[in-house]
Structure 1
Amino acid sequence: MSNSQGSHRAARGGHRAGTATATPPYGVATGAAEASMPPFGSRVPRYDGFTPSYADHETLGAPVSIPEPREPLPPRQERQDGAPGGRAGARRAARRRKSSGGPDALRRLLPQALVVAFLAGGTSAFVVSDKAVRLTVDGVPRTMHTFADSVDELLADEHVPVGAHDLVAPGPAAGLAGGDEVVVRYGRPVQLTLDGQRRQVWTTARTVDGALRQLGVRAEGAYLSASRSSEIGRAGLTLEVRTERSVTFLADGRESTLRTNAATVAEALQEAGISLQGQDTTSVTPFSFPHDGQTVTVMRISGTKEVREEPIPFTVEKTKDDTLFAGTQVVVRQGEKGARRVTYALRTVNGVKQRPKKIDSEIVREPVTQQVKVGTKALPTSVGGADHLNWSGLAHCESGGRPGALDPSGTYGGLYQFDAGTWHALGGSGRPEQAPAGEQTFRAKKLFVSRGASPWPHCGRRLYR
């Protein structure tokens, strides 16, 4: 190769080394990349008149080779025969210096290598904290990447609220690792009427069938107000369940057992083929709920009505009278009983007569009040000419000493067996046996003063003993 050609190639090589175009960073135009400073803001020194291009900075992170020190080359002499040591040797030496880069290039590459290593370590920690988990909320699954360390952190990051009746599995405090699955089931209120008993329960099931299984309700043969496949929304559901029960009926001398989910005893009777006629009824209210194992007796009732007239007792009205001696009562108006008409129901239950039941009452005649005067006047006890006689002996002989005594004919009464006419003639009121004992003795003394012992022909002699 001629000298002119070598000089021209060296000149082109020097131009490429000084002005080589590097690939610009992401988002920077080519012209701007050529005019910008090298990455990281480092200053690029010159070495032996050599200016590195941006291509040199693209080797960050590559192994750096430190050249061994070389002995200084002896002065080259031009050989006319083209042997080493001429201009070709000088060009090769220049290329070796360029490839080694020298100490300044080493100092420039070391900080950049450290930065790359730091970034690589941070990226590794970032990758380790990230984990893939599966989150199923109310039956809807999705897989996601998260940095959460526990279930509650995951739910908070995903804005999934949970309440007291909601189910979270595993629990909110459980740790979280890659590949874990978290399930959230929302609680749903159910207004449940189970065999006549109403209450509110909560379930995380989304269908009636799932709720029944979760609540432990036996659904085989049961009546359901909603189908088992019906969905339960977040707002809840009203559900009536009547399980199958065993009920025994005693009717017309026969016993029959029925399995039923009827709502009332009357419905169960119809299912059993037992009918009620007229006044027939059951031992429990026909519209009550039939319970499992219950025995119900059917009562065949026949009956009539009976009307009876019953007396109404009269009342007694007493007034004080100071013209009568104390203890004396005089009937001014005789009382009269009233009457009422009463209707009774007479029933026969399964052939046995029952106690009559009063179903109606009507007053036919009002009672008349009896009016009585009660004496308040002080009663005298002394009668001249008769006080010294044995009046107790006479009373014992006539009546046995009983003030209220009355003979079998009803004519004579009291201690001394007065008749009504004599008694009234002596100033007495009413019947003698109704008067006090002291008044009867006083009247007897007055009778003795006027007639002697003749009113008592058999017992009068007792007065003198």
Structure 2
Amino acid sequence: MGAGAAALLLAGGGTAYAMDKQVLLDVDGRERVVHTYAATVGEVLDAAGVRLKENDAVAPGLGEEVGRGGAVVVRSARELTVAIDGEEPEAHRVTALTVGEALDQIGLSAEPLELSEERSAPIPEEGLEVTGERARGMVILRDRVRTEVATTEAVVGDVLAENGIDVGAHDIVEPEVDRPAEEGAVIRVVEALGEPETEEVAIEAETEERETDELEKGEERTVREAEDGVKEVTVLPVLEEGEEAERVLEEQVVEEPVDGVVEVGTAEPGQAGSAGGLNWSALAQCESGGDPSAVNAAGGYYGLYQFSPSTWRSAGGTGSPAEASASEQTMRAQKLYEMVGGNWRSQWPECGRHLFD
């Protein structure tokens, strides 16, 4: 006898009487009152012309006595074929009248299933085929609200819509709305409080320090000035943890920063290279009028100290001397002075004497 049928029983039984009595007969949900002298359930069914087939359920049992005002329930066996998640269909013999009752009989009533038929749908005597999908469990986090859901929707956006969450044009959803909705997924929704805005932000340049024994301790010389860069940053005002915050959506570098270089002296006082104590500004005034970008095209000399390209390169310079900073030109001139052992006449025969002004 099926569990569903047994649950429908009304208390019956008692002592049989050799007299006409009313019995409520329920056959597959169709009820009628029969008058009978029958003593047992089997006799009541025979008298009412009800013929049982294999696997049909009867309650009370066929040999049970039926008293006055008793009830007999009959449920015909029928076939329910179930295919879950595209698996091989499985046939079940049930005595349930509806899909929901049948799922209870075959142990699937607790499963989170989305079925091709409503659970209240009747199962005809010729049987019924039902397909279904198991719902996937996942979590939706929206600011401080956590919602556990079970769904058969295929993508994240449909899961949110199914749960009444309308995603705004600038809301942030992770994973994105067109991504698959997978078992155990955590869907985060960050609500936008306005439009994205783009602003320019400085990229701070760094300055490298290089030690040199051409300067005394405590002295510094700038070789290359640091120049900050610029980037465009797009931000979005959002609601996080109940408060307004900003989310960075995109960063794009417009201008790379140029790192600076500063030389730091390491020589003890009085031990720096002899070139450091000379009057280089006086030499520059004589050679170029103090103009770092001076060019003597006729003679092929450049910058404060009128370097030739070859002497500039020999002192470690690159490019044109006239394009280098004044501090670098002075550093290269001092290096050249040391390289020639202080023979200033070989480099600046006319103006070199001003080094000692």
TM-score range, shorter chain: 0.3 to 0.5
User: Considering only CA atoms, is the larger Rg found in Structure 1 or Structure 2?
Assistant: 1
Q: TM-score normalized by structure 2?
A: 0.35
Structure (1 or 2) with the greater strand fraction: 2
Structure (1 or 2) with the greater helix fraction: 1
Q: TM-score normalized by structure 1?
A: 0.27
Tell which has more relative contact order, 1 or 2 (C-alpha 8 A, sep 6+).
2
